[in-house]
Amino acid sequence: SQTIHQWPATLVQPVGSPLSLECTVEGTSNPNLYWYRQAAGRGLQLLFYSVGIGQISSEVPQNLSASRPQDRQFILSSKKLLLSDSGFYLCAWSVQAGRADTQYFGPGTRLTVL
């Protein structure tokens, strides 16, 4: 069966510090991968998605970036965090080219920027 992992589970970082969040998927090959942010009291916002290694699409301009160095690894990064980057970050995967495109979510990372 497929599983999706995210780490760390929680993170507290000062403004201006770098960020690296990691997501890995097991039990499937060549998945679509997604990064979402959920800010307090708001819905989910799609940040990035990837259809393959090295292929990243950005949905919103921001000081975050994403990379996919391996088929089942998706990394969310920032060189300098802003207060507004605080939130709950969710990674998700889906099978390729499925009409239903069901997405399966990881447990999330709670990021607090102080």
**C-beta of 16 vs 101, nearer to other proteins:** 101
Nearest-approach distance from CB 57 to other proteins, in angstroms: 8
Among residues 86 and 94, whose Cβ is nearest to other proteins? Answer: 94
Smallest gap from residue 80 Cβ to other proteins (A):
26
- For residue 19, give the amino acid letter: L
Looking at the Cβ atoms of 16 and 112, the one nearer to other proteins is 112
Positions that interact with other proteins (CB under 8 A)? 6, 32, 34, 42-44, 46, 49-51, 57, 59, 88, 90, 92, 94, 96-97, 99-108, 110
Q: From CA 111, how far away is CA 21, in angstroms rounded?
A: 10
Choose between 10 and 70: whose C-beta lies nearer to other proteins.
10
- The amino acid sitting at 51 is V
Rounded least distance, CB 77 to other proteins, Å: 20
